[in-house]
Structures are given as C-alpha cells and as structure tokens.
Chains A and B, each alone.
Chain A
C-alpha cells in the first residue's frame, strides 16, 4: 500500500470512528436540568413563631400533625426512639440559659414550638462526613437521605436536639402515609427540611399552611419587604441559644 493511500484510509477511519459515536450520543448532549418554574425562592428562608397566638390554643397540634403526616414521620411510642420534625417543649427546656430568679412566672412551663433552626452557621453541616447534611443557598439546612450513613455526628453537634435517629425500621409505625414523599430506613438521621419539596411546587411549608391561627410566619429574612422581616422589626423576638453563634433562622415572638 502506498503511503498516500494509507494516510487517506487512516484519515477516513479516524473520521468514522470519531464521528459515529458523537452522532449516537447526541441524545446525551441535549439533556439539561433546570429548577422548577413556579418555585418559591428566597435568599434566606426563616420562620417567626408567634407564641402569643399559639398559647391561646394550647390544645392545638395542627402544625405537628400536618408536618408528620406530610413527611411520613413515624409515631414510635417509646420516647427514646421517637422521631420528630416539629414538636413542643416547655420554656425551661427550650431556653435553659435564661434563668430569672424572681420573674419566671410569665413563661413558666409555657410550651414552645420547636423544629430545626436552619442555622446560618450550622454545626451539623460542619461535622457531617458524607455531606449528607448540607446548606443550600437559600438557607435551608438540607439532608440528602441517600447519603446518610447514620454516624450521628450531626446529632451530637446540633445544640437544639433537632435531629432524630431511626433506631428501627420506621415503616410499621406509620399509620397513613403520604405517597408523594419517601419514608426513611433504619440507621438514618432525619429532621425538618423546611418543606423544600413544597417550596419547589410553590407551596408554603405544611405547618405554616396548617396553622389556622396564623401563628407561623414563613418568609425571606433578607428581603426587607417580606412579612417576616416587617414583623421582626416591629415585635420582640428571641432565638434559641443565640449565644452559641449558630444564628438560628427561627424566631419566637413573645412580646
């Protein structure tokens, strides 16, 4: 074979070999991903909880029920193994650093609504070895359950007890499930995720929607004109363990 002919052949085969696969793979190249169009977005999501309104209805647990139903949170009777995303606890436990020798009567044993604070500087995120817990740009401290290895570092790191560990398969303890949300499995940690799956569809968090007394105000803390920013400017609020510097995004309106 002459040199010229050989080079020609080599050129043609290279073109064929290089050209055909890219043609076949065109399907792959055109694929793309975008965020959902109608989603609610913010620079930093936060929540203000109007405890004064909440205390007017001590029997009401609508937010808790709505959240736990929406997210397939099991009801495990054993207290030590329970799973909770949003729950109630009394003042003395929620704000242990605020002793007031003579004037504790106002808040004595008053229940507070508790959930993950979606801290600005979340210690749980810093310790997670797999990045299963991570911070989204909109301030939500998110969990990728697929990645959680159940090491529970995050539970040790969170100063608010916002996280629960699945000691047993949670499924038998779920009475009615939401088919649009997964359950968790044994060996995984879980917590409130600020209803990212609802925000994505343009809906407010389940607890906010469920509160018929409008005690939960959800919105963008970094948007001056949002309802939550306005309320926080006008009313007295406290945050849990602010001295730890995690900068909680949950505010309790008590004045």
Chain B
C-alpha cells in the first residue's frame, strides 16, 4: 500500500475520534430516571401508562375538547374526569418530580406546559426584555408599580375610542 505509514494511523485516529463518545462514557452506567409516583393505580396500569400515556393524552385532548367527552371509563370500569390540570395533576402533584424526570432523561420536550399550568407554579415570572417587546414598546416592569392594581385598571372596561381592531 502506498503511504501506509500515513494512511493506517489516519484510519486509527479517525476510528478513535468517531467512537470517542463510546470511550468517554464507557463503564459509566446512567441510572434510569425515578419519577415520584403517587399511591394507587393510575387510570390504567403502570405498564400501559408508561408505554401509551402520550397516545392516551392526545385521545383525551381531542375527545374532551372536540366531542365534549369529559369522562373516561378505564379498563377496570373506574371513571375519571379528563383533563391535564384538573385530571392528571390532581394526583401527580409535581411536574418536576414526575413528568420532567423521564422527559429530561429522554430529552423530549412536550409543549403541554406552554399553556397548561403545573401545580407547583405559584406565579408567573416577569416578562423578559426581548427584542420583540421593545419593538412593540411593551413595558416590561409591569409588577413594580407600573401597573395599576387589578380592578382599578380601566383598560378593559374603558370605552375604546379607537373602535374595535
């Protein structure tokens, strides 16, 4: 082989670099996530929920919102109120200790919580001074006196001279 003194070390270095992550993590067992589970049975068996909760939640969402089917009768005949905030999270009191444990581990980012409010939330953070906010000239420090108290604010009640938008 021509240039074998360069090609062979080159191949070896290449293989080493490509398999670097394997070497690095070799022998380090990453422990499985341990979400904190409430007592008792979920709407279905643990095994079923573990494998199918995403499909079940999607089915719930569609049937509850679009068909008005709010009550779920599970395989063992128990009935449940369908809902994330008003259903699931009434037992799973803590999103961080439950949902996030596995989702972080598996690096999945469901967007449920963009709108739904986890039970541990006590208040929402202040707005970040994003470019968009500046662009629209929306004040950020609403909380420090810049904003009248709930109720005194005339915004919604006031007659809108500008007409409807």
B-binding residues in A (CB < 8 A): 26-37, 39, 61, 64-65, 68-69, 72, 75-82, 84, 86-90, 93, 109, 111, 114, 134, 136, 142, 144-146, 160-161, 167-169, 171-177, 179-185, 188, 196, 200
Contacts and interface: CB of A to CB of B under 8 A. Distances in A.
B67 A176 contact: no
A68 B153 CA distance: 13
B138 interface: yes
Interface string B66-82: 11111111111100011
B120 to A, nearest CB: 10
A183 B84 CA distance: 13
A182 B82 CA distance: 14
A245 B163 CA distance: 22
B34 interface: no
Which 3 pairs from chain A and chain B are nearest by CB?
A: A161-B164, A172-B127, A33-B69
Contacts of A136: 68
Given A168-B136, A200-B68, A111 B164 contact: no
B119 interface: yes
Given A26-B75, A84-B156, A79 B162 contact: yes
Contacts of A81: 136, 138
Interface string B115-137: 11101010111110010110011
Interface in B129-164: 130, 132-133, 136-140, 142, 146-147, 150-151, 153, 155-160, 162-164
B138 A64 contact: no
Contacts of B132: 167-168
Contacts of B126: 172
B158 A183 contact: no
Nearest to A162: B164
Contacts, number: 156
Interface in B25-69: 44-45, 48, 61, 63, 65-69
Interface range on chain B (Cβ under 8 Å from partner): 35 or more
Contacts of A89: 159-160, 163-164
Given A68-B156, A77-B147, A196-B68, 15 more contacts: A27-B75, A31-B72, A64-B157, A65-B151, A75-B153, A77-B138, A77-B139, A78-B137, A78-B138, A79-B160, A80-B136, A81-B138, A87-B157, A93-B164, A172-B140
Given A30-B75, A33-B63, A179-B117, A168 B127 contact: yes
A142 B65 CA distance: 8
Contact of A183 (B86, B115, B153): B115
Contacts of B97: none
B165 interface: yes
A175 B150 contact: yes
A81 B134 CA distance: 13
A31 B75 contact: yes
A76 B67 CA distance: 33
Contacts of B66: 134, 142, 144
A168 B158 CA distance: 22
Contact of B157 (A27, A61, A173, A182): A61
A179 B119 contact: yes
Contacts of B115: 145, 182-185, 188
Contact of A182 (B45, B117, B165): B117
B76 to A, nearest CB: 8
